[in-house]
């Protein structure tokens, strides 16, 4: 829900939309003389409230950063102690690493398809290529603190007379929250039905997963989502937004959950391919997939919730815990379990980064030269 509060802030950076006269916007009334509801005292109270909120955000961010830093330190220390001058036991297989990249591309497509469907449900009419380009280019924004750049890039790239800024921004939040809700649900499902025996040493994982499911999933319930969007004052930016929101139905969300589930399975396949790609293809089989699915869903969703750019450190820590401690150590009983899982997490990060930058650059250039050729005609 906290992510949806930035809808208004992002939309303000898009081209302006006309509003009817005498429309109330915050303390002001558009078309009339500015009027402060609470006067000077109201302003002071508002400033104090904003200072308290900013302080609370700093405390929470510091706590999250501290916990992540401690987890990373412990993970790296364990991995280093396992190696301790021993020869490196891994060998890279380009074929499996290429398969990991391909799985990541396949996992991205269902996310784009749902966003495209959500845009049309909100009466926006972008072309599929435009949606794909905006999605891939905008994904690079998650490596910037706050992640608001994801929304801004995608909304800017899609903005046209066929896709208004407000409806596009709303659709971006719907897609992201749905992706995270499905990921949290799949992680919870894996923990309850497959990995429950491993949780005794990491009791925080189950409540963390449930909390992430509530945070991401509850706002995507159609009635709740519509209420939140309207409460944010989007009707002042788009007079037709209430009518557009009627397209957010359970049928759309069911379609999104099916697509997102397939996408997450592909992302788990990307992680599984990296494990095979470091020389463990003879040691693992289909029994590794639940661990890979739990690891990748927890890692990505927790990284998103943490608001740390790209989930840096959060992803690596959770992949190391679930894949390294649960699977490599307790199931396969291989040496260097923690170090191996950390290597897998780092290689996966590099592969995904390469795919994201490659797709973004390719699609951006294609769109750029296509527009130039159209103008030349």
| Alpha-helix residue ranges (DSSP H) falling in the chain | 7-11, 39-83, 94-121, 128-139, 148-158, 165-193, 205-217, 222-231, 241-244, 250-275, 289-306, 314-319, 337-376
The sign of the CA dihedral 142, 258, 359, 356 is positive
- By CB atoms closer than 10 A (0-12, 13-18, 19+), residue 53 is exposed
* List of residues 6+ apart from 174 with CB closer than 8 A: 118, 220, 225, 248
Q: What is the mean pLDDT of residues 277-303?
A: 90
Other CB atoms within a 10 A radius of the CB of residue 301 amount to 30
Token look-up 């029994």 returns: 287
* Most confident segment among 6-10, 146-150, 251-255: 251-255
Global model pTM greater than 0.75:
yes
Tell me which DSSP letter residue 28 carries.
E
pLDDT value for 337: 85
b/e for 164-183, b at 16 or more Cβ within 10 A? bbbbbbbbbbbbbbbbbbbb
Q: What is the mean pLDDT of residues 92-111?
A: 96
pLDDT value for 369: 80
As a whole-number percent, the residues of the chain with pLDDT over 90 amount to 53
Q: Is 288:272 a contact under the CB 8 Å cutoff?
A: yes
Cα–Cα distance for residue pair 183/340, rounded to 1 Å: 24
CA 256 and chain centroid, separation: 15
Helix (H, G, I), strand (E, B) or coil at 29: strand
Q: Is the pLDDT of residue 335 over 90?
A: no
**Is the pLDDT higher at 67 or at 375?**
375
State the DSSP H helix or E strand holding residue 23, giving kind and residue range, or none if neither: strand 23-25
Span 198-233, pLDDT tens digits: 898 888 999 999 999 999 999 999 999 999 999 998
Token pair belonging to 99: 């398969």
Q: What is the mean pLDDT of residues 23-28?
A: 36
Span 67-80, pLDDT tens digits: 555 555 454 555 44
Q: Is the pLDDT of residue 114 over 80?
A: yes
Q: How confident is the model at residue 368 (pLDDT cuts 50, 70, 90)?
A: confident
- By CB atoms closer than 10 A (0-12, 13-18, 19+), residue 104 is buried
Cα–Cα distance for residue pair 318/296, rounded to 1 Å: 8
- By CB atoms closer than 10 A (0-12, 13-18, 19+), residue 234 is buried
Q: Is 354:270 a contact under the CB 8 Å cutoff?
A: no
Residues in the chain: 377
pLDDT value for 280: 85
Task: Determine the Cα angle at 351 with ends 349 and 355, to 5°.
Answer: 115
Q: What is the mean pLDDT of residues 257-286?
A: 92
pLDDT value for 28: 33
Token look-up 């690493």 returns: 97
Span 353-367, pLDDT tens digits: 999 999 999 999 998
Kindly compute the dihedral angle of the four CA atoms of residues 260, 265, 266, 269, in this order, to the nearest 10 degrees: 160
Q: Is 171:248 a contact under the CB 8 Å cutoff?
A: no
Cα–Cα distance for residue pair 221/37, rounded to 1 Å: 34
pLDDT value for 200: 87
Token pair belonging to 36: 């402060």
Q: How many domains, the chain? A: 1
pLDDT value for 11: 47
Q: Looking at the DSSP assignment, which residues form a beta bridge with residue 24?
A: 29
pLDDT value for 223: 95
pLDDT value for 71: 53
pLDDT value for 355: 96
Q: Is the pLDDT of residue 92 over 60?
A: yes
Token look-up 């991205």 returns: 108
Span 119-176, pLDDT tens digits: 999 999 999 999 999 999 999 998 887 678 899 999 999 988 888 889 999 999 999 9
pLDDT value for 275: 94
Q: What is the mean pLDDT of residues 341-355?
A: 94
Residue-range definition of the domain harbouring residue 110: 3-376
Task: Determine the Cα angle at 352 with ends 351 and 353, to 5°.
Answer: 90
pLDDT value for 123: 93
pLDDT value for 36: 41
* List of residues 6+ apart from 225 with CB closer than 8 A: 174, 219, 245, 248
Q: Is 141:216 a contact under the CB 8 Å cutoff?
A: no
- Mean pLDDT estimate for the chain: 82
Q: How confident is the model at residue 372 (pLDDT cuts 50, 70, 90)?
A: confident
């Amino acid at each position: 829900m906290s992510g949806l509060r930035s809808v208004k802030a992002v939309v303000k950076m898009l081209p302006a939309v006309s509003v009817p006269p005498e429309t109330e916007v915050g303390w002001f009334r558009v078309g009339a003389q500015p009027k402060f509801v609470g006067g000077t005292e109201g302003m002071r109270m508002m400033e104090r409230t904003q200072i308290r909120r900013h302080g609370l955000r700093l405390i929470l961010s510091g706590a999250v950063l501290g916990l992540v830093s401690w987890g990373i330190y412990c993970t790296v220390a364990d991995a280093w102690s396992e190696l301790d001058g021993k020869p490196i036991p891994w060998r890279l297989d380009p074929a499996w690493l290429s398969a990991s990249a391909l799985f990541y591309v396949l996992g991205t497509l269902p996310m784009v398809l749902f966003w495209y469907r959500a845009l049309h449900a909100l009466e926006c009419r972008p072309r599929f290529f435009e949606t794909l380009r905006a999605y891939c280019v905008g994904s690079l924004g998650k490596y910037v603190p706050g992640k608001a750049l994801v929304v801004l890039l995608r909304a800017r790239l899609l903005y046209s007379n066929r896709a208004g800024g407000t409806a596009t921004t709303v659709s971006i939040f719907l897609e992201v929250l749905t992706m995270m809700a499905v990921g949290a649900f799949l992680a919870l499902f894996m923990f309850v039905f497959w990995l429950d025996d491993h949780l005794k040493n990491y009791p925080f994982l189950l409540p963390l997963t449930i909390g992430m499911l509530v945070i991401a999933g509850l706002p995507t319930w159609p009635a709740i989502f519509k209420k939140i969007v309207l409460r944010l004052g989007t009707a002042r930016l788009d007079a037709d937004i209430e009518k557009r929101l009627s397209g957010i139905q359970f049928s759309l969300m069911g379609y999104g959950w099916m697509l997102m589930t397939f996408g997450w399975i592909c992302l788990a396949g990307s992680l599984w391919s990296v494990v095979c790609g470091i020389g463990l293809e003879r040691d693992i089989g289909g029994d590794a997939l639940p661990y890979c699915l739990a690891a990748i869903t927890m890692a990505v969703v927790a990284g998103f919730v943490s608001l740390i750019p790209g989930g840096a450190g959060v992803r690596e820590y959770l992949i190391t815990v679930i894949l390294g401690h649960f699977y490599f150590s307790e199931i396969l009983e291989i040496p260097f379990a923690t170090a191996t899982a950390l290597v897998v997490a780092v290689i996966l990060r590099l592969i995904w980064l390469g795919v994201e930058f490659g797709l973004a650059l390719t699609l951006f250039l294609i769109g750029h030269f296509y527009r130039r050729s159209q103008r030349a005609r």
